[in-house]
DNA sequence: CTGAAAGCGCTTACAG
DNA sequence: CTGAAAGCGCTTACAG
């Protein structure tokens, strides 16, 4: 490989000058002719920076780690796109670990988060990422920005307005005249192992809060039996609906906590002979492309996942670069209702 | 940070011994007591390897780059999972670039593929990744494994049996008694800019080959007008069906070249008042979760994308480690029909 | 203003 | 068998 030293020799200058030309550093000033000559030699000899050497010297790698549960969940792809774009804007590249794919005793996380490898980490934790896994990430000395949850420690975090999203969904159903509205999907209890900071609640609990607040604001007392827990698979939504139709007394509409689950809920309702939306109305939290493509199309609250990823990566870059940053709930854009055929 | 030198001092040995203990190197042999002492000091002082230094010294980074068009396409997530798992098994980590998200003049690709940054690259090209982008990847001196396409140059590649998948789909429709079968989706002409090696054809053309071969084997001459090009969006499938119903003379079944498109095709057929599968039968190439969740559920040929990613990353690791490798079409598992309600 | 020299932390070929 | 020393390629504080 061509090195700085070789470029320097070819151009008849010192390595310092080559380095300065390459970085536009103003510390070392050189004539325009020298600059042009160095650049010509760089081109001619095909010099490219050795990033390992630069990292060692500067103690900066220019790499951000992204640790997320599972990319096959379509809810996360816009978030990853946002991280990707923000990283590119700021000159970083991305290293990836899907936490739920890491087998027991995996060294991949250590390998990625190891000293000198990445400048910081974006962590989107989830209930299945056990606390030791989360803790190992949070204990790194490199900055960590936590998305979607509010950590116990001093790490910066960024969340979206989950309570607001559930409120928007519930209010939409209230406006349509529903008075018996259920909340379906996600684990609310012991499976939510991530321990948030005092005074904050787990993502699913925040959504439950928004749902209940909207009901109460309409003068309706929330019922515990209308809250149905499940995992996020479409089959879980389907199974929940099948149990539901056996009941005489049941909600006429559901806020479904997850886009994938909502596809199963609608399929289950149709299979059970219910008309959608007449017999059962559905609004999903999280909009994904396929909701606008299926029959019937599914109403959803669009969550700013792209923006969350973009803002999170930007926040991380700022933390790495020593700027002061502030954790907060993203308020713009707000969760947005997209009404379709299921309401 | 704690360094090898500090561990050496604390344990009263030389850095060589610490390095040897850390790597189980047999070149330097030490007593069990020394080994234990070094390990104890590593634990006590919290030593972690500085990967930048190791990379500089060994000229190996332990990082694989993954360059793919767009992760929001659910067809690619299992492939990424396969790459992820194979990387983990072999002790590598992954760096990611979504080629279609890279803005013009982006330096991200250079930054990732730069010298010293990654040991090799897995490239899944596509029609939208223009040839200069592809070429810049293919010209790296670090090994590149091309997935799903057969490159022009000497790079190793790995593909799946696209012709076979289209054949399986077409034969299924033939067995059901259809004699007028169309092929819908994907660009077959000028948009397929990736120039494959002599004697090989672009992925969509390979599928077209399989479709036509199955028809001919059944004594049916393929008709050009039954091949409908489009992009991969569901809306494109929908639009294609809307045009179709205006025709008196039309196919009674379609092989749809893409899972997402098939969702649109089915939605479009229902919207146009066609009964599925009676008036129009549909088989998608590529199976994704949602096809089993929608109403009606959509028949599909499952492509071994996970296996493609896994085998591709394994091949790349082997190339990096100097093993001899051979490019080939993955034959196991073969494309597998999953019959559902649209046929 | 410019260049020589040091040093980031690691691994390994080499001398003892 | 063990340790001291060199050197990967870069950047930057420092001497001239």
Q: What CATH code is carried by the domain that includes residue A31?
A: 1.10.260
pLDDT per residue over B35-47, tens digit each? Answer: 888 889 899 898 9
How confident is the model at residue B274, as a pLDDT?
A: 93
Which residue is listed with tokens 């017999």?
A: A279
Task: Enumerate residues 6+ apart whose C-beta is below 8 A from B267.
Answer: A293, A294, A295, B234, B237, B238
* A321 and A240 in a common domain: no
Same domain, B205 and B283: yes
Best mutation target, A92, A291, A295, A342, to test chain B (most B CBs within 10 A):
A295
Query: What is d(CA B60, CA B92) in angstroms, rounded to the nearest whole number?
Result: 11
Checking if the pLDDT of A74 tops 70, the result is yes
Taking all residues of chain A, what is their mean pLDDT, rounded to a whole number?
88
Chain C: positions less than 7 Å from a protein CB are 1-13
* Residue range of the domain that includes B12: 4-49
Residues in contact with A105: Cβ distance below 8 Å, sequence separation at least 6, in sequence order: none
Q: Domain check: are A148 and A276 in the same one?
A: no
Number of H-type helices and E-type strands within chain A: 12, 12
Is A209 within a domain? yes
Contact criterion met (CB < 8 Å) for A50 and B106? no
Chain A residues in contact with B53 by the CB 8 A cut-off are 56, 116
pLDDT at residue A130 tops 60 = no
Nearest amino-acid residue to C7, taking CA and C1' = A57
DSSP B160: E
Same domain, yes or no: B135 and B240: no
Residue A340 lies in a domain: no
Contact assessment for residue B6 and residue B18, using Cβ atoms and an 8 Å cutoff:
no
- Collect all residues with Cβ–Cβ distance below 8 Å to B316 and sequence separation of at least 6: B64, B120, B121, B122, B143, B145, B156
Residue identified by tokens 């492309």 is A289
User: Would you call B48 and A110 a contact, using CB atoms and an 8 Å cutoff?
Assistant: yes
- B55 located within any domain: no
Residue A233: C-alpha distances to residues A70, A196, A295, B53, B267 (Å): 13, 25, 19, 44, 22
> Is residue A39 situated within a structural domain?
yes
Spacing of A109 CA from D1 C1' in Å = 36
pLDDT at A153 over 90: no
Q: Report pLDDT for B196.
A: 63
Comparing CB atoms, the residue among A52, A93, A108 nearest residue B52 is A52
pLDDT at res. B192: 54
In this structure, the answer to whether residues A169 and A290 fall within a common structural domain is yes
Name the residue closest to the C1' of D1 by its CA: B29
A296/A313 same-domain check: no
| Structural domain contains residue B80 | yes
CATH number at residue B219: 3.40.50.2300
Q: How distant, in Å, are the alpha carbons of A71, A85, A139, A238 from that of A135? A: 21, 27, 6, 35
Q: Are A314 and A144 in contact (CB under 8 A)?
A: no
- Amino acid B175: pLDDT: 97
Q: How far apart are CA B111 and CA A48, in angstroms?
A: 10
- Residue whose CA lies closest to nucleotide C11 C1': B57
- Decide: B82 and B148 in contact? Cβ < 8 Å: no
Pick from B183, B155, B157: which is nearest to B169 by CA?
A: B183
pLDDT score of A118: 94
Task: From chain B, pick out residues whose CB is under 8 angstroms from the CB of A102.
Answer: 88
Taking 80 as the threshold, does the pLDDT of residue A197 lie above it? Answer: no
Q: With contacts defined as CB-CB under 8 Å, which chain B residues touch A108?
A: 87-88, 93
Q: What is the pLDDT of residues B276-290, one digit of tens each?
A: 999 999 999 999 999
Q: Give B121 CA → C12 C1' in Å.
A: 28
Contacting residues for A39 by C-beta, under 8 A, at least 6 apart: A21
3-class SS at A203?
helix
Q: Are residues A134 and A207 in the same domain?
A: no
Inside any domain, residue B64:
yes
Alpha helices per DSSP H over B96-192: 108-113, 131-138, 162-175
- Reported as a pLDDT band with limits 50, 70 and 90, residue A126 is confident
* DSSP H or E stretch at residue B16: helix B15-23
Contact A166/A210 with Cβ under 8 angstroms?
yes
Task: Please compute the mean of the pLDDT values over residues A123-130 and round it to a whole number.
Answer: 69
Q: Do A152 and A98 have their domain in common?
A: yes
pLDDT band at A169 (very low <50, low <70, confident <90, very high): very high
Same domain, A215 and A244: yes
Token digits of residue A212:
């209940």
Distance in Å, alpha carbon of B10 to nearest chain A alpha carbon: 20
Q: Taking Cα atoms as reference points, which of A190, A197, A222, A196 lies closest to residue A209?
A: A222
343 residues of chain B, pLDDT tens digit each:
789 988 888 888 888 888 888 886 655 567 788 888 888 989 989 899 999 999 999 999 999 999 988 888 889 999 999 999 999 999 999 999 887 777 666 788 888 888 889 999 999 987 555 556 667 777 788 899 999 887 777 789 999 999 999 999 999 999 999 999 999 988 887 555 555 666 678 888 899 999 999 999 999 999 999 999 988 889 999 999 988 888 889 999 999 999 999 999 999 999 999 999 999 999 999 999 999 999 999 999 999 999 999 999 999 999 999 888 999 999 989 999 999 999 9
Q: CB–CB of A65/B93 below 8 Å?
A: no
The strand pairing partners of B68, in sequence order, are B98
Per-residue pLDDT tens digits for A10-24 = 888 888 888 888 886
Is residue B299 in a domain?
A: yes
**Per-residue confidence (pLDDT) for residue B202, from 0 to 100:** 82
Q: Write out pLDDT tens, residues A213-271.
A: 999 999 999 999 999 998 888 999 999 998 888 888 999 999 999 999 999 999 999 99
**Are the beta carbons of B150 and B198 closer than 8 angstroms?**
no
Residue B331 DSSP code: -
Residue of B nearest to A47 (CA): B115
In chain B, the number of structural domains is 3
Closest residue in chain A to residue B81, using alpha carbons only = A101
Whether residue B340 is contained in a domain is answered as: no
Q: Give the A:B interface size as CB pairs under 8 Å.
A: 166
Residues of A in contact with B94 (CB under 8 A): 95-97
- From B295, which residue of chain A is nearest by alpha-carbon distance? A267
Are residues B119 and B241 located together in one domain of the fold?
no
A143 plus A182 within the same structural domain: no
Both tokens assigned to A37: 């000559």
Kindly list the residues from chain B whose CB atom is less than 8 angstroms away from the CB atom of residue A88.
Answer: 101-103, 106, 108
> Which pair of tokens denotes residue B62?
């332990």
- B142 and B233 part of one domain: no
């Amino acid at each position: 490989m061509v090195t700085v030293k070789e470029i320097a020799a070819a151009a008849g200058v010192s390595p310092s000058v080559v380095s300065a030309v390459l970085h536009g550093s103003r510390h070392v000033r050189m004539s325009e002719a020298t600059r042009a000559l160095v650049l010509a030699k760089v081109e001619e000899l095909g010099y490219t920076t050795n990033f390992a050497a630069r990292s060692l010297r500067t103690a900066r790698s220019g790499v951000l780690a992204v640790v997320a549960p599972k990319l096959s969940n379509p809810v996360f792809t816009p978030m990853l796109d946002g991280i990707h774009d923000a990283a590119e804007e700021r000159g970083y590249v991305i290293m990836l670990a899907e936490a739920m794919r890491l087998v027991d005793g995996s060294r991949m996380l250590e390998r990625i988060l190891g000293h000198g490898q990445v400048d910081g980490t974006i962590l989107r934790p989830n209930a299945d990422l056990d606390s030791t896994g989360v803790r190992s990430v949070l204990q790194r000395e490199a900055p960590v920005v936590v998305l979607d949850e509010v950590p116990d420690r001093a790490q910066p975090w960024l969340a979206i307005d989950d309570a607001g999203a559930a409120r928007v969904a519930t209010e939409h159903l209230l406006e349509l005249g529903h008075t018996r509205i259920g909340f379906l999907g996600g684990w609310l209890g012991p499976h939510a192992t991530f321990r948030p900071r005092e005074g904050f609640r787990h993502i699913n609990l925040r959504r439950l809060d928004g749902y209940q607040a909207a009901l109460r604001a309409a003068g309706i007392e929330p019922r515990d039996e209308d809250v149905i827990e499940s995992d996020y698979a479409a089959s879980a939504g389907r199974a929940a609906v099948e149990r539901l139709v056996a009941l005489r007394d049941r909600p006429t509409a559901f806020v479904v906590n997850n886009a994938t689950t909502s596809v199963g809920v609608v399929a289950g309702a149709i299979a059970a002979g219910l008309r959608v939306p007449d017999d059962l109305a559905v609004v999903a939290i999280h909009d994904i492309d396929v909701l606008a493509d299926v029959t019937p199309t599914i109403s959803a609250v669009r969550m700013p996942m792209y923006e969350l990823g973009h803002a999170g990566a930007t926040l991380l870059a700022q933390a790495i670069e020593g700027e002061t940053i502030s954790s907060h709930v993203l308020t713009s854009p707000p969760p947005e209702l997209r009404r379709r055929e299921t309401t």
